[in-house]
Amino acid sequence: MACRIPARALWQSSPRLALIPRVTSQGPRWTRHYTTPAESQNRTAIVTGSARGIGKAIALRLAQDGYDICVNDIPANKSGAESVVSEIKNLGRNAFPFMADVSNLQEVENMVSASVSELGPLNTMVANAGIAQVKALLDLTEQDLKRMFEVNVYGVYNCYSTAAKQLISQSTPGKLIGCSSIVGFKPFPLLSHYSASKWAVRGLTQAFAMEMARHKITVNAYAPGIVGTAMWDLIDEELGKIDGRKKGETIKKYTDELIALGRTSVPEDVAKVVSFLSGPDSEYVTGQTLLVDGGIIFT
Q: Which residues bind ligand NAD (CB under 6 A)?
A: 48-49, 51-55, 72-74, 77, 101-103, 128-132, 151, 155, 179, 181, 224, 226-227, 229-232
Query: CB-wise, 237 or 283, nearer to ligand NAD?
Result: 237
Query: CB-wise, 70 or 129, nearer to ligand NAD?
Result: 129
Least separation in angstroms between residue 229's CB and ligand NAD is 3
Query: CB-wise, 130 or 279, nearer to ligand NAD?
Result: 130
Count CB-CB contacts under 10 A for residue 68. Answer: 20
Query: CB-wise, 40 or 289, nearer to ligand NAD?
Result: 289
Least separation in angstroms between residue 25's CB and ligand NAD is 43
Least separation in angstroms between residue 228's CB and ligand NAD is 7
Spatial distance between the Cα atoms of 202 and 257, rounded to a whole number of angstroms: 26
Least separation in angstroms between residue 11's CB and ligand NAD is 56
Query: CB-wise, 77 or 275, nearer to ligand NAD?
Result: 77
Catalytic residue among 154, 157, 194, 222: 194
**Catalytic (active site) residue 194:** yes
Least separation in angstroms between residue 57's CB and ligand NAD is 8
- Active-site residue set: 194
